Structure 1
Amino acid sequence: MLVSALLTSLGINSGLCVLFFILYSILRKQPINYEVYVPRLLAEGNSKRRSHFNLERLIPSTGWITRAWKLSEEDILSSSGLDAVVFMRVITFSLRVFSFAGIIGVFVLLPVNCKGTQLHEIDFADLSNNSLDVFTISNVNSGSKWLWIHFSAVYVVTIFVCCLLYYNEAKTLYKRLLHLQLEPPQQKYRRVGLFGEKVDLVDHYGKRLEDIEQNVRLEQSDLSLADETRAAFVSFKSRYGAAVAFHLQQSINPTQWVTEEAPEPDDVYWPFFSSSFMRRWISKLVVVVACILLTILFLVPVVVVQGLTNLSQLEIWFPFLKSILTITFVSQVITGYLPSLILLLFLKIVPPIMEFLSSIQGYISHSDIEKSACNKVLWFTIWNIFFATVFSGSVLYQVSIFLEPKNIPAKLAVAVPAQASFFIAYVVTSGWTSTSSELFRIIPFICSLVTRCCKSTDELEVPSIPYHRDIPRILFFGLLGVTYFFLAPLILPFLLVYLCLAYVIFRNQFMNVYMPKYETAGKFWPIVHNSMIFSLVLMHAIAIGIFTLKKLSMASTLVFPLPVLTLLFNEYCRKRFLPIFIAYSAEVLIKKDREEANDPAMAEFFDKLVTAYQDPTLMPIQYSANADSLNSPLISSADV
């Protein structure tokens, strides 16, 4: 890709970002758009519609940026939960890594790359027509001593990232995890009533509704007594007792009685609650096969995108476009902007599909479904966007590369630097524009317009942030930053701009838009840790291949200890920190039980626990005005 093509993509995406910012700053002030841009504030009663007209509404402003920037971590924790704090920690962690790597890459490595003449010398007088490859490590002469600077950079950044992973305030996160409120937010039930001008008519229909409800409740109770329940929630008087029962094997056959830690009431996913071990196992197998097929199918748009980045290949595929492709601006748009846009549009459908596949995998909580979907989207993106783009070719060719581990570093050393320009454009398109569109909320805005045109009176819905969509995107950009910082450091400034945009925009969304429906207690962080370790090891493999290719065998040999030490560090972290995200320690549980032994509020808590976990299919319908009779259990103690 030429510099001019990148500049064209940069100009288009920068213009879209500015447009989204301006539209958001104007539209958010209009009272009719409050359901789109401040639904959380409306639901909490912290925002009221203004009826009088004000000229200030039509003028773009930046006050929301200041408010989002000043939002403290404690405010995010209290309002959006620990998952939101972890999400913002991912962004701040990436900012720290790439700020440090950016200083080394831009001010040290980039000048070294430009001094090389392996490809050809840079013509600064005609910079726009230079290939971006001259700014990469490919331009450094083979056997040059300047490559030792890249070698040193690999070691320094690896040590820096591992230090951040070990010291990312793990003790503070652990304390907040222990003190997280486990009770879900108060549920709001929608009451449906019947109104009429004549009182006797209302009473008549009210009595009929009560009769119907009573009949439904009788049918529900009959169904619940017809068969033995395969699963149930069991509560304990102490946290320590619950932990002991959870970790004990309940039956000689471990597949007969399976115990799981109960999720929050709002977090329960009921379809698989009573499923057998065999059904869950088969469901997981089906999902694995579906993911493999989807991965293979997705290679089609990847091959198309790779064809668009190569004008000569495009002319072979579509010879009738040869005359159009000679126009400079058209060729720049096609090679610099269009490939990333097409790939971004295809990727939009991946998170919903992965969420659906995870929902049929046998999990009993929404949080587990979202964590599983997050992992699926992340590794799908790494394989189909990174490896499929780097090793563009047939599926068999890509698989054959990984069947010969000895050849992987050499293949990566040749293929990865060649795609640097594509991934820079991808960061600009998928990072800058996509994050700005998150602020503008295009689809909810269009839906709001349609709803107003249809004069619909739907209840206000406050969305929750789709972590399985946004966390993999940040982690994938982290992988690109780690692997390319010493190959093509030009990517780092674009990554830093993306992270700054994400930092401000998502803090604003947590404050005004998103409201958590359930809590995973920060369990997304192990995914972040594993992704970063994988990125480091991948960078080491590429470094070994690059230094071998550049005939600097000593540097290649000295890089070998790095992946070994990194994996040993990862194993230590798994032993030291991973148990924090899996279970509480007995010491903490016993201490907490003793503290609350004489707490009068615990009696009320146990009373609520009896009715907290109710299957929605057994919940009574509530149409009548008198709902007191509907709050009693379906089966009383006298019936047992």
Structure 2
Amino acid sequence: MQECAAAFVSFKTRYAAVVASQVLQSSNPMLWVTDLAPEPHDVYWSNLCIPYRQLWFRRIATLLASIVFMFLFLIPVTIVQGLTHLDQLQQMLPFLKGILKKTFVNELVTGYLPSVVLMLFMYTVPPTMMLFSAVEGSISRGGRKKSACCKVLYFTIWNVFFVNVLSGSVLSQLNVISSPKGIPIQLGKAIPTQATFFITYVLTSGWASLSSEVVQLFALICNLFNRFIRRSKDIPSKSALSFPYHTEIPKVLLFGLLGFTCSILAPLILPFLLVYFFLGYVVYRNQILNVYISKYESGGQYWPIVHNTTIFSLVLTQIIALGVFGLKRSPVASGFTIPLVICTLLFNEYCRQRFYPTFKSFSAQVLIEMDREDEQCGRMDEIHQQLNSAYCQLSQLTSHDSSKTEETHREHTRCTQDPEDMKPGLAHPTLGRHTIPGIGQVATWLSMYMASQEKNPPK
């Protein structure tokens, strides 16, 4: 087995692990890097041996690749916007004038077809961003999904909202956009023209995605293929998936952005969004409780993303309101809107100072209380014994596991392995959150990830 300059070190208490992870271990900060370890089933073993000096280069490379991919995606978005402007489409394709004069074809091309084409192109975005996040070097699956979620979110807001609002004519609007005063006015003029497209997009990408989420069409096809074509009665491990946060959270936040920004000039979209959020609550609650299997705990790391995007949506809505009031030549309304923007930014700063630190580090008071409670209940000794085999890449069956039947072992494999990260020749930890209650969450604080630039870590 190939050795790498990384190790998992366990401690007797959570408090000791947190202190050791935050203290500088050497005078050279890049020689001995420490961080809290993810849960046993959250470890992404492929990236564990990446040298620390490569992480910054990988992050810069993936950032540049994401930006290039974002701008290359302007080509299909421009094509979609050409479908929404019938006069431009007739000028580019004169032989379609006779067909486009028909009412049914006109409504189909300008109303429904653009959102369907854009939605089909958007299906390629999450796998691409997940690949970029894996190359980025995250040592945990949760960190990889969080990074992919941010990339998909930025990509979706830029290409679905801003590029469509500007109607694909960014170059012709540079003289207006270059002026800060012209941005609110331009947004106030452009959003009403795209209201129909956004309503149709909510129907095609929102309602339709909830329907496909309930049906689970891909899993259903795979199940039918295995049962009737392969004649296999075994349940494949890929049938149990974890919740796709990197695809669903950006979609929900995008619809929230559309609801905020379009509520001023195109309030007709609000009933469609209300139905979407109501159905989304029912569908996602059922899927999380009854369909998907939680392989690890992310510790609420997605909540800051949701908060920041909501604040951005509010500020953007208020800027659009300034543009609308400027078009209406109402200085009184504009004067009352400016303090609203300032108050929103101050509220965001208060939340950042008050709540965001709890997502970055653990409270010493809480950790000490948990350590004392485990010591009084006698759980700490058991946890220390199980940590020796929890962070193990190779699958090792104990004597107790060897006495199990083949069906029980297959069920254990289905629960402990993440089908999204299964690769040929890559083994997964034997012990985890589903086999030892509480070990996954406790080991997150009891272990520490170490990476060094050198092949052999210092003693």
Same fold at TM > 0.5: yes
| 1:36-51 paired onto structure 2 within 5 Å | none
Q: Deviations over 1:19-59 (max 9, x none)?
A: xxxxxxxxxxxxxxxxxxxxxxxxxxxxxxxxxxxxxxxxx
Unpaired runs of 5+ residues, structure 2, are 405-428, 431-459
Pairing 1:310–2:93 present: no
The question of whether the paired residues in 1 share the 8 Å contact of 2:77 and 2:168 is answered with no
Of 411, 416, 430, which residue of structure 1 is paired with 2:205?
Answer: 430
> Quick one: distance in 2 between partners of 1:572 and 1:400?
36
- Structure 2 counterpart of 1:424, one-letter code: I
Of 248, 256, 278, which residue of structure 1 is paired with 2:23?
Answer: 248
| 1:318-467 paired onto structure 2 within 5 Å | 318-393=93-168, 396=171, 403-451=178-226, 452-456=228-232, 459-460=235-236, 461-467=239-245
The question of whether the paired residues in 1 share the 8 Å contact of 2:62 and 2:136 is answered with yes
> Quick one: distance in 2 between partners of 1:512 and 1:353?
28
Q: State the 1:561 CA deviation.
A: 1.5
Give the SS at the match of 1:609. Answer: helix
Q: State the 1:338 CA deviation.
A: 0.6
Q: State the 1:626 CA deviation.
A: 7.0
The question of whether the paired residues in 1 share the 8 Å contact of 2:257 and 2:313 is answered with yes
Q: State the 1:317 CA deviation.
A: 2.0
- Identify the range of structure 1 (443-452 vs 557-566) with the bigger mean alpha-carbon deviation: 443-452
Match of 1:263 in 2: 38
Match of 2:355 in 1: 577
With over 3 angstroms needed to count, the CA separation of the structure-2 counterparts of 1:311 and 1:609, relative to structure 1, is same
After superposition, the CA RMSD in angstroms is 2.3
Give the SS at the match of 2:148. Answer: helix
> Quick one: distance in 2 between partners of 1:379 and 1:397?
23
Q: Deviations over 1:70-105 (max 9, x none)?
A: xxxxxxxxxxxxxxxxxxxxxxxxxxxxxxxxxxxx
Q: State the 1:394 CA deviation.
A: 5.2
> Quick one: distance in 2 between partners of 1:246 and 1:327?
68
> Quick one: distance in 2 between partners of 1:393 and 1:508?
39
Q: State the 1:347 CA deviation.
A: 0.8
Match of 1:280 in 2: 55
Q: State the 1:327 CA deviation.
A: 1.7
> Quick one: distance in 2 between partners of 1:482 and 1:589?
40
Match of 1:198 in 2: none
> Quick one: distance in 2 between partners of 1:261 and 1:484?
43
TM-score (norm 1): 0.60
Q: State the 1:400 CA deviation.
A: 7.1
> Quick one: distance in 2 between partners of 1:492 and 1:561?
26
Match of 2:307 in 1: 529
> Quick one: distance in 1 between partners of 2:173 and 2:32?
43
- Structure 2 counterpart of 1:540, one-letter code: Q
Q: Deviations over 1:447-466 (max 9, x none)?
A: 22332223245543311110
The question of whether the paired residues in 1 share the 8 Å contact of 2:42 and 2:141 is answered with yes
The question of whether the paired residues in 2 share the 8 Å contact of 1:296 and 1:395 is answered with no
The question of whether the paired residues in 1 share the 8 Å contact of 2:6 and 2:48 is answered with yes
- Structure 1 counterpart of 2:327, one-letter code: L
TM-score (norm 2): 0.82
- Structure 1 counterpart of 2:231, one-letter code: K
Q: State the 1:319 CA deviation.
A: 1.7
> Quick one: distance in 1 between partners of 2:269 and 2:402?
64
With over 3 angstroms needed to count, the CA separation of the structure-2 counterparts of 1:596 and 1:450, relative to structure 1, is closer
- Identify the range of structure 1 (594-603 vs 268-277) with the bigger mean alpha-carbon deviation: 594-603
> Quick one: distance in 2 between partners of 1:401 and 1:474?
31
With over 3 angstroms needed to count, the CA separation of the structure-2 counterparts of 1:552 and 1:464, relative to structure 1, is same
Q: State the 1:517 CA deviation.
A: 1.5
- Structure 2 counterpart of 1:479, one-letter code: L
> Quick one: distance in 1 between partners of 2:212 and 2:174?
36
> Quick one: distance in 2 between partners of 1:357 and 1:398?
32
> Quick one: distance in 2 between partners of 1:406 and 1:255?
45
> Quick one: distance in 2 between partners of 1:404 and 1:428?
35
> Quick one: distance in 2 between partners of 1:398 and 1:459?
56
With over 3 angstroms needed to count, the CA separation of the structure-2 counterparts of 1:441 and 1:427, relative to structure 1, is same
Q: State the 1:513 CA deviation.
A: 1.7
| 1:464-483 paired onto structure 2 within 5 Å | 464-483=242-261
- Structure 2 counterpart of 1:387, one-letter code: F
- Structure 2 counterpart of 1:330, one-letter code: V
With over 3 angstroms needed to count, the CA separation of the structure-2 counterparts of 1:239 and 1:415, relative to structure 1, is same
The question of whether the paired residues in 2 share the 8 Å contact of 1:265 and 1:612 is answered with yes
> Quick one: distance in 1 between partners of 2:371 and 2:165?
55
Match of 2:453 in 1: none
> Quick one: distance in 1 between partners of 2:9 and 2:154?
36
Give the SS at the match of 1:254. Answer: coil
The question of whether the paired residues in 2 share the 8 Å contact of 1:475 and 1:528 is answered with yes
Match of 2:276 in 1: 498
Q: Deviations over 1:109-136 (max 9, x none)?
A: xxxxxxxxxxxxxxxxxxxxxxxxxxxx
Give the SS at the match of 1:560. Answer: helix
| Structure of greater Rg | 1
Q: State the 1:558 CA deviation.
A: 2.1
Q: Deviations over 1:2-31 (max 9, x none)?
A: xxxxxxxxxxxxxxxxxxxxxxxxxxxxxx
- Structure 1 counterpart of 2:229, one-letter code: C
Q: State the 1:363 CA deviation.
A: 0.7
| 1:177-196 paired onto structure 2 within 5 Å | none
Give the SS at the match of 2:376. Answer: coil
> Quick one: distance in 1 between partners of 2:218 and 2:368?
49
Give the SS at the match of 1:308. Answer: helix
> Quick one: distance in 1 between partners of 2:165 and 2:141?
35
> Quick one: distance in 2 between partners of 1:535 and 1:399?
23
The question of whether the paired residues in 1 share the 8 Å contact of 2:240 and 2:292 is answered with yes
> Quick one: distance in 2 between partners of 1:250 and 1:570?
35
With over 3 angstroms needed to count, the CA separation of the structure-2 counterparts of 1:274 and 1:429, relative to structure 1, is same
Give the SS at the match of 1:232. Answer: strand
Q: Deviations over 1:370-412 (max 9, x none)?
A: 1111111111100001001011235655777665433221221
- Identify the range of structure 1 (290-299 vs 414-423) with the bigger mean alpha-carbon deviation: 414-423
The question of whether the paired residues in 2 share the 8 Å contact of 1:295 and 1:380 is answered with yes
> Quick one: distance in 1 between partners of 2:173 and 2:122?
20
> Quick one: distance in 2 between partners of 1:402 and 1:241?
53
Give the SS at the match of 2:191. Answer: helix
Q: State the 1:322 CA deviation.
A: 1.6
> Quick one: distance in 2 between partners of 1:339 and 1:241?
56
Pairing 1:239–2:239 present: no
